[in-house]
Chain A
């Protein structure tokens, strides 16, 4: 199967999700959701706590099985039967709020592991690739540090390099800076901005309004498992019409 991108509104795109639904027992967390993300588009998603943002990202990355709908990314289609879910994971990267680095491996080993094990890349090549991505996130001088020897901001950048090393078609971020001390948030956002400018397609769950204004092509307001608003950052942030979005942005801004 060749990696053929899905088509959204007649144009080639990175992600096409249709009717995606996720339930935990009777609780509907993602509700019949449609989402298109264009190539190199940067989407920032905001919404109240418990609205299902993390769950949506986990569905898009294949960590959760969906109960209905379909997800298309780069020639991989995932249905509720779970087929293709493994390929989805290798094509879509996820950066966690808590980093989740492998504590027993150094930075460079953290990044090289998946290319070596999943892509069956030769050890030397995998390490070379890992070095390249660590340099990309400005950690070329911390290659052989263990996670516990790095600051939170540095750990999160290693986590980004680790996701990048799998050459994802789409990179998802789940509140990447909300576990960080304020002085470290900037360095992580700066790397994300670089990535966006280099053409990476990204969906970022974050309440960093400055980042949304400056970097996002589109901002989504998500609540109760649905996308209630979608549009240019300034329109959504300042001129939302939906009352729940209005209340939310009034408290965030």
Chain B
């Protein structure tokens, strides 16, 4: 359950983050303002409050079940962080790259897809992976609306058998195991996405 919530909300965060990140660098004032506002608001409100807001607020209106509400709340919250990471990645690509692509007749969308994003990925991947790990840990917060993920399962187990220390030790160890695994995976990704031609490990 923890894994499902994390993966789904992270995918949502990635998609929304890409959209909002692109808005922030567009040349439409309104989109830029919206994007900046979105990021500021979501980063300024604690995730716990957002979960309540989505579950009791939007959840009532749209009749969302706990699972969807949890995924949406975590996904939206993390999309703000992802938007910042993606924006910074795109802005890190040299201005001459836009010009070179434009001078060849590529449209802004083609330039983004074939020239800018592939280069930005190299900047974006490492911090995105740490966001994923943070997302995994923060998914524990959705237990508050009654979703039976790892933390909640621990609580139920505890109230049944009254072995508190061992239960939480076990829960902690499981989280740690998952994050350690992910950290290893992150290192792998960093290597994988260290785009050739940028200096590291080049044949020459």
Residues of chain A touching chain B, judged by Cβ–Cβ distance below 8 Å, are 61-63, 86-87, 89-90, 93-94, 96, 98, 100-104, 113-114, 117-118, 146-149, 162-163, 166
Q: Which residue of A89, A103, A149 contacts B104 across the interface (Cβ within 8 Å)?
A: A89
Q: Which residue of B96, B105, B197, B204 contacts A166 across the interface (Cβ within 8 Å)?
A: B105
> Is there an interface contact between B105 and A148, defined as CB atoms closer than 8 Å?
no
Residues of B within 8 A of A98 (CB): 96
Number of B residues near A (Cβ < 8 Å) is: 26
How many angstroms from the CA of A100 to the CA of B119 in the assembled complex? 13
Q: Could you name 25 residue pairs across A and B whose Cβ atoms are closer than 8 Å?
A: A61-B103, A63-B103, A87-B105, A89-B105, A90-B104, A93-B104, A94-B103, A96-B96, A100-B99, A102-B115, A103-B119, A103-B195, A103-B197, A104-B195, A104-B197, A113-B104, A117-B110, A118-B104, A118-B105, A146-B202, A148-B197, A148-B198, A149-B204, A162-B104, A163-B104
Interface core residue of A104, A118, A162 (most chain B CB under 10 Å):
A104
Residues of B within 8 A of A61 (CB): 103
> Is there an interface contact between A100 and B97, defined as CB atoms closer than 8 Å?
yes
> Is there an interface contact between A102 and B96, defined as CB atoms closer than 8 Å?
no
**Distance to closest chain B CB from A111 (angstroms):** 10
**Distance to closest chain A CB from B54 (angstroms):** 38
> Is there an interface contact between B104 and A96, defined as CB atoms closer than 8 Å?
no
- Does B106 reach chain A (CB closer than 8 Å)? yes
Of all chain A residues, the one with the shortest Cβ separation from B117 is A104
**Distance to closest chain B CB from A65 (angstroms):** 12
How many angstroms from the CA of A86 to the CA of B105 in the assembled complex? 6
How many angstroms from the CA of A105 to the CA of B198 in the assembled complex? 11
B:113-138 near A, CB below 8 Å: 114-115, 118-119, 122
Of all chain B residues, the one with the shortest Cβ separation from A103 is B197
**Chain B 160-204 interface 0/1 with A at a Cβ cutoff of 8 Å (1 = within):** 000000000000000000000000000000000001111100111
> Is there an interface contact between A118 and B195, defined as CB atoms closer than 8 Å?
no
**Distance to closest chain B CB from A242 (angstroms):** 32
Residues of B within 8 A of A62 (CB): 103
Residues of A within 8 A of B110 (CB): 117-118
Residues of A within 8 A of B26 (CB): none
> Is there an interface contact between B202 and A148, defined as CB atoms closer than 8 Å?
yes
> Is there an interface contact between B203 and A149, defined as CB atoms closer than 8 Å?
yes
Not counting A63-B102, A87-B105, A96-B96, a sample of 16 additional A-B residue pairs whose C-beta atoms are within 8 angstroms of each other reads A61-B103, A63-B99, A89-B105, A93-B103, A93-B104, A100-B94, A100-B97, A100-B99, A102-B101, A102-B119, A114-B105, A146-B197, A149-B197, A162-B104, A166-B104, A166-B105
